A and B are shown apart, each in its own frame.
Chain A
Amino acid sequence: MDNKEKQIVVTAISLVVIFVCYSLYVYDKYIAENFAILNDFKFWGKAFLILIPVTIVSQIIIHIVFAIINKIVTNEDMETKTDERDKLIELRAIRISHWIFTIGFLLSMVTQVIGMAPYVMFLTLVSSGFISGIVSEMVKLHFYRKGF
Chain B
Amino acid sequence: MHKCNINNNIRKLRFHANEMTQQELADKTGVTRQTIVAIENGKYFPTLELAFRISKVFNLPLEEVFSFEEIQ
Q: Distance in Å from the Cβ of A140 to the closest Cβ of chain B?
A: 12
* B12-68, CB < 8 A from A: 30-32, 34-35, 38, 41-44, 46-47, 49-50
List residues of chain B with CB within 8 A of the CB of A146.
43
A-to-B contact residues, CB < 8 Å: 2, 4, 79, 81-86, 144, 146-148
Asked whether, in the complex, the Cβ of B44 is within 8 Å of the Cβ of A81, the reply is no
List residues of chain B with CB within 8 A of the CB of A4.
32, 34
List residues of chain A with CB within 8 A of the CB of B30.
83
Asked whether, in the complex, the Cβ of B43 is within 8 Å of the Cβ of A79, the reply is no
Please report the C-alpha to C-alpha distance between residue A15 and residue B18 in the assembled complex, in whole angstroms: 45
Asked whether, in the complex, the Cβ of A148 is within 8 Å of the Cβ of B44, the reply is yes
Please report the C-alpha to C-alpha distance between residue A124 and residue B45 in the assembled complex, in whole angstroms: 38
Interface residues of B, CB < 8 Å — how many? 14
Asked whether, in the complex, the Cβ of B46 is within 8 Å of the Cβ of A147, the reply is no
Q: How many A-B residue pairs have CB under 8 A?
A: 34
Asked whether, in the complex, the Cβ of A148 is within 8 Å of the Cβ of B43, the reply is yes
List residues of chain A with CB within 8 A of the CB of B49.
84
5 contacts between A and B (CB under 8 A): A81-B32, A84-B50, A85-B32, A85-B38, A147-B44
Identify which of A81, A83, A147 gathers the most chain B CB atoms within 10 Å of its CB. A83
Asked whether, in the complex, the Cβ of A84 is within 8 Å of the Cβ of B34, the reply is no
List residues of chain B with CB within 8 A of the CB of A147.
38, 41-44
List residues of chain A with CB within 8 A of the CB of B42.
147
Q: Distance in Å from the Cβ of B10 to the closest Cβ of chain A?
A: 15
Asked whether, in the complex, the Cβ of A84 is within 8 Å of the Cβ of B43, the reply is no
Identify which of B30, B34, B49 gathers the most chain A CB atoms within 10 Å of its CB. B34
